A and B are shown apart, each in its own frame.
Chain A
Amino acid sequence: MNNVLKLTQHEFRDLLRNPSIIILVVLPIFMSKVIITVMDQSGLNFMLLSTWILFAQVMVGIMITGPGLIEERESKTFDALLISPLSKGQIIVAKGLTVLILSLLSQTIVFLLNYGLSWAFWPSLLYMILGGIVFVEMGIIIGFLVNSSQNGSAVSSAVMIIFFLVVTVYEALPNWTYPFFVAWPSIEISQNLNSILKGDGLLLMESLLLPLWIVGLSLWISRIGEE
């Protein structure tokens, strides 16, 4: 555990030395403030706070983890870690944890900047963490399956857009399609957040599916890790 924290600390410093990482963390904050303000003024009920929290999750989780891991595999610094006392699992946890912290930072600022600190923050935090984990895990999978940086950025962007876009689209579709969409983690998160922010509390089905995603993706990662 101690070693995991040492690597996390190093990862954190390394990421913060990289300007493009800072942009990825700040962009959701900036966009949420601008677009929510515009939507408010024009009286539209579209692209709400939940959308932007999700955006921060997907953006930071996938776009930092995936390409970062591929870069590390390409430059072979990953090999240096593998022959250190760290196990493969510890390396993955340390890397995931680092991005998760950045993801929570971005999400929290999006929330506070647009909604202020209220009781709703605390139940929302649960979904920020769960969703944060899901998308970091997706980033890790992309980071292991894709073999070149160029492809990595393309695949990461595509996955990010799909998971983000589905949230802005599904509400416009007829109700009977919902059982299909509820399987998407991004929908589970935004539905719960919307419900919390409206004061309606948590949604059972949507909440239970999220840990399933986390477990499923973890199993996938450990299977890839063994190869």
Chain B
Amino acid sequence: MIQLTEVSKSFQKKLAVDRLSFSVGKGEVFGFLGPNGAGKTTTLRMMTGLLQPTNGEILINGMNISLHKKNLHAQIGVVFELPNLYARSSVRDNLILFADLYGVTSNRVIEVMDSLQLLERQRVRVDSLSKGWKQRVLIARALLHKPKVLFLDEPTSGLDPNSAALIREYIKIIKTEGTTIVLTTHDMHEAEELSDRVGIMHAGRMVALDNPQSLKNDYGKAEIETEYWQDGEIIKTSWPLADEATKDHIYQLMTSGQMISLHSKEASLADVFAVLTGSELS
């Protein structure tokens, strides 16, 4: 569905995206991870035709986005990083404008508002809405014309856990309808929960790309966490699951009756992220 080949983007001298190649299949949810400034938004903007790549080519549905912009724009929806709505207009007017431009019926507008529980607030001015509600309006706007591909740039950032969960559930529903989805996030659980595959970007490069489980197998370290008595004190220790010596430690603790508790702790995507992107701020 989406195919990037050797895509680069530089701003003046700075190389923001460096020879990116990957593809996203039809109906797939692709999660983009990476530290601040890694180049996620820049890549998304190139995929949606808002930025021209310095090098390389991007195909959506077999068509080059630079050459078939308007044709492809009819097939994609974008939820932007910033809530770029008309602040002085109501929820409804914001949606009606784009519905008119896309040639979408007013029934569809009501349907989309209904699915995001926006009907009650449709007459409210957007600048008086909270962040979570603005995000719903953004999603509604992106879905009006039933796009085949949906891009979401940090759809849950800054939202309370309930609003974020609601939006995640909604994204899952869109996925079941067969929409191809590309999303960026800083929330590792979210990436894992939603994505079929995850790409981790660092300093403009794609440093890993696979399904979450394989990434954890490859880069994460599963551990065994134990609590045990030693000289009248409770000690907590973790040992790598894969290590030969671990079983001896455990055996010894269990036979001596020192063991209090024993948990296996599987590797998380956050571990993978830390390994691949380092801890330094970029």
Where the two chains meet, the residues of A that have a C-beta atom closer than 8 Å to any C-beta of B are 3, 6-7, 10, 13-14, 17-18, 75-77, 79-80, 82-87
Nearest-Cβ distance from residue A97 to partner chain B, whole angstroms: 16
Q: CB < 8 Å: which of B76, B84, B98, B101 contacts A79?
A: B84
| B contact patch SS | loop
Are B88 and A17 in contact, with the CB atoms below 8 A?
yes
A-B contact pairs, 25 of them (CB 8 A): A3-B101, A6-B97, A10-B86, A10-B89, A10-B97, A14-B88, A14-B89, A17-B88, A18-B88, A75-B84, A76-B80, A76-B84, A77-B84, A77-B85, A77-B86, A80-B84, A80-B98, A80-B141, A82-B50, A83-B49, A83-B50, A84-B73, A84-B102, A85-B70, A85-B102
| Chain A residues near B101 (CB-CB < 8 A) | 3, 6-7, 84-86
Residues of A within 8 A of B80 (CB): 76, 79-80
Complex Cα distance, B94 from A13, in Å, reads 12
Q: How far is the CA of A188 from the CA of B86 in the complex (A)?
A: 38
Residues in B whose Cβ lies below 8 Å from that of A13: 89, 93
Of residues 140 through 172 on chain B, the ones whose CB sits less than 8 Å from some CB of chain A are: 141
Q: For the complex, is B100 an interface residue (Cβ under 8 Å from A)? A: yes
Measured CB to CB, the nearest residue on chain B to A18 is B88
Bound-state CA distance A83–B100 (Å) is: 14
Report B-chain residues with C-beta under 8 Å of the C-beta of A77.
84-86
B206 lies within 8 A of chain A by Cβ: no
Q: Which residues of B contact A (CB under 8 A)?
A: 48-50, 70, 73-74, 76, 78, 80, 82, 84-89, 93, 97-98, 100-103, 141
By the criterion CB–CB under 8 Å, are A83 and B76 in contact?
yes
A77 to B126, CA, bound (A): 13
Distance between Cα atoms of A129 and B260 in the complex (Å): 87
Identify 15 new A-B residue pairs, CB closer than 8 A, beyond the known A6-B97, A83-B76, A83-B78: A3-B101, A7-B97, A10-B86, A10-B93, A13-B93, A17-B88, A75-B84, A76-B84, A77-B85, A80-B78, A80-B84, A80-B85, A83-B48, A84-B73, A85-B73
Q: How far is the CA of A76 from the CA of B80 in the complex (A)?
A: 9
Q: Which residues of B contact A84 (CB under 8 A)?
A: 73, 98, 101-102
Partner of B74, one of A14, A18, A85: A85
Query: In the complex, which residues of chain A have a beta carbon less than 8 angstroms from the beta carbon of B73?
Result: 83-85
If A6-B101, A84-B73, A84-B102 touch, whether A75 touches B89 (CB-CB below 8 Å) is no
Cross-interface CB contact of B50 among A7, A75, A79, A85, cutoff 8 Å: A79
Measured CA separation A77–B82 after assembly (Å):
9
Interface centre among A14, A18, A79, A80 (most CB of B within 10 A): A80
A82→B102 CA distance, assembly (Å): 12
User: In the assembled complex, how far is the CB of residue A10 from the closest CB belonging to chain B, in whole angstroms?
Assistant: 5
| A83 CA to B75 CA, complexed, in Å | 10
Smallest Cβ-Cβ distance to B45: which chain A residue: A79
Quick check: B89 and A76 within 8 Å, CB to CB? no
Bound-state Cα–Cα, A86 to B89, Å: 20
**A35 smallest CB distance to B (angstroms):** 33
Which residues from A are CB-within-8-Å of B98? 80, 84
Across the interface, do B78 and A14 meet the contact criterion of CB distance under 8 Å? no
A13 to B80, CA, bound (A): 24
CB distance from A3 to the nearest CB of B (A): 6
When distances are taken between beta carbons in the complex, the residues of chain B under 8 Å from A82 are 49-50
How many Å lie between the Cα of A86 and that of B78 in the bound state? Answer: 15
A14–B141 Cα distance when bound, in Å, is 18
Residues of A with C-beta under 8 A to B100: 3, 6
Contacts of B102 in A (CB 8 A): 84-85
A77 CA to B50 CA in the complex, in Å?
A: 13
